[in-house]
Structure 1
């Protein structure tokens, strides 16, 4: 029986990464339901119960080597894994997985990955050596291809779109039920805000609190949407504590499909998280991005949506102006977004084709 080993930032309850894994699993099962799937995970029980696949603890070297050795294909499954912004340790970990796969002569697929930045000279050298041994590279955006090539990775690269674009959300009725269960009203237009912890100070929290209050004063409801359990909740609650008006927050643990459905009934989404923005695009919801990483700006340009500013220099007045303009033009923006997203969904079909050829 064929088996596939997928590695990524899984099991941390980050809905973006879980959406990627869900999409990859779906594509594999549609190709051949008999293929056994193993995925690297921080929380094996969570991964196995959520995705109905086999989890492999990222802390068990023996289990990882066994899964790679027994696999017929190793997949780097989405996300920006090869970068040293987070840490060199993370980069070395993922490079080691690829090296082990090649030692066992296993085909390796980079599937819908982002790439970079890599700043350390030795990290650049090692990444170039390892990445040039990969059998197939499929990237999620043109910027990643540009960075790869500037780092000396000469392997042929395909550019498609994030794997999460093939995800289906729950319907509007179910999404409203989920909000009702948390006593979040849908009687007024609903504005979503998705923030994440970053190197932010009090200024950022104050600006976001004032901005959320500004939205409330326009007789609109605000709901904070955590994309990663605990981490996003904490910073969201810090902002809510500084607000004068009432805002809501999703408190329960949801699947990517459920949060995609919830974002689909918003009027506007304001978000730092890339996959919150991707979910909005899938559902054709007008958005404003807050840039903490170049990948956010890259995606906003792809879908022709507004960048509200960088986290470090976020300006309250500018954010309000951008919001007012978008709210007034939201029907027109949603229509334009529809045309763009239809093309991107066509591009996402190539992901399945590339994956099928490697299986």
Structure 2
């Protein structure tokens, strides 16, 4: 399984494409992509496969997420800029779609990003930081919320089976490995979850989004809370549907926060990344910045209790507008592709 957030962006893109467009996907696992989504797919790591995909194409969509950033990898921007530049050299109309640009610490990565974006037919971004950077570079663009806001959710039979008979309230917990989630921080979160469960008799549901970074952590948490299921689902629409059923979400990952808020589930954010912090600020979500985490377990429990018991919560007033505004990412596709 890949990253549920990345898969959700792909599904959102497929849903937003004009009906007359036949998509071809560059994928880490082309067979899985075809089986899951019914679209033609080519291996993104093989130059011959990439060229084959490009030769029959009219458009190239640099689709969704923070592709151009060098905090997690200095090589990643070289690869994605290379894909875009190759498409431009082969005469394809190029679209940078629903992007999050940066952070870009290396000067050559900033130069490459600006170079390929200036040559795009259209650009859309999903956060104000990226929009500000493009404005300084004088690159035309539109700013709209992450397209996953508008992705259609679906019910998950696997989730229904794994949670059958669990007492309410249901609390989804989404954590990932990251340098800001220190051992001390994790121990505080575990202590807080134990206290919270004692006070509320809540059922904890551990919801990893990516096997490689989330699964071991979910298993460690499960060992502390016997009877609490781990739910790992491959279909991102079903993942989003889960947030229609849980009562509270405690989440690190950006798309866990977005999916929860989009489905009107109370959400407490644990930010490890500027993108998560920006969503927290925009929606006035309660939460913690993990880089500066110094909170005691008792305070976390009190904040979770207040959120769970609140009649109205802050994201409700923004939800409908954000879902509607995310449709702008579809409009830019229609403008270019007809």
Same fold (TM over 0.5): yes
- Structure 1 gaps of 5+ residues are 1-11
What is the aligned partner in structure 2 of residue 23 from structure 1?
12
Pairwise CA RMSD: 1.9
SS in 2 for 1:143: helix
Conserved? CA contact 2:147–2:327, under 8 Å = no
Matches within 5 A, 1:168-187: 168-170=152-154, 174-175=155-156, 177-187=157-167
Deviation at residue 208 of structure 1 after TM alignment: 2.2
What is the aligned partner in structure 1 of residue 24 from structure 2?
38
What is the aligned partner in structure 1 of residue 335 from structure 2?
357
Figure out how many residues of one structure are paired with residues of the other and give that number: 334
What is the aligned partner in structure 2 of residue 271 from structure 1?
251
What is the aligned partner in structure 1 of residue 183 from structure 2?
202
What is the aligned partner in structure 2 of residue 146 from structure 1?
132
Distance 2:290 2:189 in 1: 13
Is the counterpart of residue 337 in structure 1 residue 304 in structure 2?
no
Deviation at residue 230 of structure 1 after TM alignment: 4.3
Deviation at residue 221 of structure 1 after TM alignment: 1.1
Is the counterpart of residue 102 in structure 1 residue 83 in structure 2?
no
SS in 1 for 2:234: coil
What is the aligned partner in structure 1 of residue 207 from structure 2?
225
SS in 1 for 2:324: helix
Conserved? CA contact 2:96–2:117, under 8 Å = no
What is the aligned partner in structure 1 of residue 119 from structure 2?
133
Distance 1:97 1:38 in 2: 14
SS in 1 for 2:226: coil
Conserved? CA contact 1:17–1:79, under 8 Å = yes
SS in 1 for 2:264: coil
What is the aligned partner in structure 2 of residue 63 from structure 1?
49
Q: Judging changes above 3 Å, is the alpha-carbon distance between structure 1 residues 276 and 131 closer, same or farther for their aligned structure 2 residues?
A: same
Conserved? CA contact 2:218–2:230, under 8 Å = no
Conserved? CA contact 1:204–1:311, under 8 Å = no
What is the aligned partner in structure 2 of residue 190 from structure 1?
170
Distance 2:116 2:232 in 1: 41
Q: Give per-residue Cα distances to partners, 1:10-45, cap 9 Å, x unaligned.
A: xx52111111111111222xx22x422111111111
What is the aligned partner in structure 1 of residue 284 from structure 2?
304
Is the counterpart of residue 13 in structure 1 residue 10 in structure 2?
no
Deviation at residue 183 of structure 1 after TM alignment: 4.7
Conserved? CA contact 2:13–2:63, under 8 Å = yes
Q: Of 304, 321, 324, which residue of structure 2 is paired with 1:323? A: 304
Is the counterpart of residue 213 in structure 1 residue 194 in structure 2?
yes
Conserved? CA contact 2:243–2:259, under 8 Å = yes
| TM-score of the pair, normalised by structure 1 | 0.87
Conserved? CA contact 2:207–2:232, under 8 Å = no
Q: Judging changes above 3 Å, is the alpha-carbon distance between structure 1 residues 312 and 41 closer, same or farther for their aligned structure 2 residues?
A: farther
Conserved? CA contact 2:176–2:217, under 8 Å = yes
| TM-score of the pair, normalised by structure 2 | 0.92
Conserved? CA contact 1:204–1:312, under 8 Å = no
* Greater RCO, CA 8 A, separation 6+: 2
Conserved? CA contact 2:5–2:255, under 8 Å = yes
Distance 2:115 2:160 in 1: 52
What is the aligned partner in structure 1 of residue 220 from structure 2?
238
Q: Of 82, 86, 98, which residue of structure 2 is paired with 1:112? A: 98
Distance 1:111 1:344 in 2: 17
Deviation at residue 65 of structure 1 after TM alignment: 1.9
Deviation at residue 67 of structure 1 after TM alignment: 1.3
SS in 2 for 1:165: helix
Distance 1:42 1:62 in 2: 14
Q: Judging changes above 3 Å, is the alpha-carbon distance between structure 1 residues 183 and 268 closer, same or farther for their aligned structure 2 residues?
A: closer
Deviation at residue 311 of structure 1 after TM alignment: 4.8
